[in-house]
Chains A and B, each alone.
Chain A
């Protein structure tokens, strides 16, 4: 089962290493890990998707809390959340019906972001299952290359996660 954890961490050298170590040592499988800036200077936000049960997720959170550079943790497994994933997919256009490809683009809200002689590159954004579904439809057409950002997520409603100095 997938489990989503948000960690606000100090933007310092080696922090990613320390976080990764928690997963490596206990052999927890990371489904995806994204890191980016926040509005607060010096604070980065990680979205970690784990393939784990509730108990393992609790262990991970406990160990992450122990890291000095980890400021806040939120377990999104516990409530409604908005989640998005983004994929760039390069699909072959030669040798088959281009119209079929354009139909997929049309029906799935994908964007064409680049066109080559032999290929077309699509951007797909949405809930991870949506991205999965679009990729499944593109596969028979011949995927040449693909990259996914991994999931970013945020709790729904007015509560906000912040690392304000208290």
Chain B
């Protein structure tokens, strides 16, 4: 290895650099310390230059892992995650991770190698039009064919990725641009882009409208979305909710933005939200949407959604206003700034009777809650997740996959801190959990990180166990193993007469998989063993995998069927009905 090249900080002193070196110089200047990637022909010059720079490269086993790790890194830290891949298949393998980041507004920069510029359009080996392919799933993208365009593209990419509504940006750089040399110096000027104006401030008339709506409301509900985390508005939301004495309902991606234990936090809304939360929204006379987008999974059918409620919508993305739900007051601005302004204006309110009414609806649900049902000797996923929550003191970062275990995690792991739940909400990407957990751990090495995944999703990206082993990174992987693609099975049970088409799943011996990677693998099939095994995993150095053999045909309740009204929920059957459980060995 050659000596580390010192980056140039002195203005007016250009230095000779290759395009490849320029890429790393820019990344260093952007504060990047870790990248996730996979080398290949068209990105080789950049990999060669990498050895001279103080950036840690994590070699993934599949480029999808790189984009998910960069995503997990970004969500856990709030910093831009960086993924690197070669042209052609390397670039296309990033696609699922890019789409995941786009749907959940995650700041990410993907750098891909491209065939030499004179070969573009000639079907060269490993050529693909990746900027074309990713056009609908990136916030923006750049195709760079000249060495002098590398720095502007990377600077703009980072600026776009993290400003306004964050999102993934792809920079595709041809091999000849990486190889070319130029006189380079870092441009310390802030990025200005003509057509991009992310910083907007709340308009006073809209603020006044919002205040009037809040004053006249008797039954308000705050809908707390991911915008809270992204704008860092946790403190302001808490102050605001307390001042207005307003119940706070959480979206899936908003979890952690407002402490689960706060008396005003009524829980998660939506398809698998708490029943009393959905009822409260349907009965509310005012919804205060904070950095959320009225996704169909949280509204049910829009025809009957919150029919009595006026809506105040605060979002930094103007295209979200009036998209799904008409706003009575629409504020396009940073949430934290807006709440600070509102806190100057908003009166203290008392909604004790409304809160008491919502509280009274909880009692009816508690009798159905699986946590309060008598032990029948079976191991249930909600028990496992609730135990992990209890044993980690609710302080772990949890990355999930998608499906039943994800919803149970949202219901039974009570998040107090922002950026402690990392989950694919919008795209619903199976295989996200393990790589996202690895990325999160790299971003926050001092945090306890769990991947709670299903037996289906885990197998989509389980190769990244090898990455975890090579990196010596410590995540605890809890496989909620029910022998089915559980959420699809649940839909088949409810809506397709229990015809289990392609959902029964035979898995390998996960303990042996762990052992094959030189990692500790454990298995649990009885509830009394959960605590000991979880503690053993926590105390073991290196990644540990636990195969939780849970009840096969349990379902997530409540459930709003797709397209149904938000308060038309399928509820967990009353205790007596819960005797049909099968104890089939997997």
Asked if chains A and B come from one complex, the reply is yes
A residues with a Cβ closer than 8 A to B are: 9-10, 13-14, 17-18, 21, 25, 58-59, 62-63, 65-71, 163, 165
List B contacts of A9 (CB < 8 A): 195
Cα of A3 to Cα of B427 in the assembled complex, Å: 33
Whether B319 pairs with A65 at a CB distance below 8 angstroms is yes
For residue B6, CB closer than 8 A to chain A, the reply is no
For residue B140, CB closer than 8 A to chain A, the reply is yes
- Sampled A-B contacts (10; CB under 8 Å): A10-B195, A14-B131, A14-B143, A17-B135, A21-B136, A62-B321, A66-B319, A68-B195, A71-B195, A163-B194
Whether B319 pairs with A62 at a CB distance below 8 angstroms is yes
Whether A66 pairs with B131 at a CB distance below 8 angstroms is no
Quick one: given A70-B195, A163-B194, are A63 and B135 in contact (CB under 8 Å)?
Answer: no
Cα of A133 to Cα of B329 in the assembled complex, Å: 45
A48 to chain B, nearest CB (A): 16
Cα of A163 to Cα of B318 in the assembled complex, Å: 20
Please count the residue pairs between chain A and chain B whose beta carbons lie under 8 angstroms apart in the complex.
40
Whether B322 pairs with A58 at a CB distance below 8 angstroms is yes
Whether A63 pairs with B319 at a CB distance below 8 angstroms is yes
Chain B contact patch, size range: 10 to 19
Partner of B194, one of A17, A18, A25, A165: A165
List B contacts of A70 (CB < 8 A): 195
Quick one: given A13-B143, A68-B160, are A25 and B136 in contact (CB under 8 Å)?
Answer: yes
Chain B 114-146 interface mask (CB, 8 Å, partner A; 1/0):
000000000000000001100110011001000
Chain B 316-372 interface residues, beta-carbon cutoff 8 Å to A: 317-319, 321-323
For residue B193, CB closer than 8 A to chain A, the reply is yes
Quick one: given A59-B323, A65-B319, are A17 and B132 in contact (CB under 8 Å)?
Answer: yes
B298 to chain A, nearest CB (A): 20
B215 to chain A, nearest CB (A): 29
List B contacts of A25 (CB < 8 A): 136
Chain B 299-320 interface residues, beta-carbon cutoff 8 Å to A: 317-319
Quick one: given A10-B194, A62-B319, A69-B195, are A21 and B135 in contact (CB under 8 Å)?
Answer: yes
A12 to chain B, nearest CB (A): 10
For residue B196, CB closer than 8 A to chain A, the reply is yes
B145 to chain A, nearest CB (A): 10
Quick one: given A13-B143, A66-B317, are A18 and B195 in contact (CB under 8 Å)?
Answer: no
List A contacts of B319 (CB < 8 A): 59, 62-63, 65-66
* Other 16 A-B pairs with CB < 8 A, given A62-B323, A66-B318, A68-B140: A9-B195, A10-B195, A14-B135, A14-B143, A17-B135, A18-B135, A21-B135, A21-B136, A59-B319, A59-B323, A62-B319, A62-B321, A68-B160, A68-B195, A70-B195, A165-B194
List A contacts of B194 (CB < 8 A): 10, 71, 163, 165
Cα of A66 to Cα of B143 in the assembled complex, Å: 19
List A contacts of B136 (CB < 8 A): 21, 25
B103 to chain A, nearest CB (A): 14
User: Which residue of B131, B140, B194, B318 has the most chain A CB atoms within 10 A of its CB atom?
Assistant: B194
Chain B 177-196 interface residues, beta-carbon cutoff 8 Å to A: 193-196
B153 to chain A, nearest CB (A): 12
List A contacts of B140 (CB < 8 A): 68
7 closest pairs, A vs B, by CB? A62-B319, A71-B195, A68-B140, A68-B196, A70-B195, A66-B319, A68-B195
List B contacts of A163 (CB < 8 A): 194
User: Which residue of A62, A67, A68, A69 has the most chain B CB atoms within 10 A of its CB atom?
Assistant: A68
User: Which residue of B140, B195, B321, B322 has the most chain A CB atoms within 10 A of its CB atom?
Assistant: B195
A33 to chain B, nearest CB (A): 17
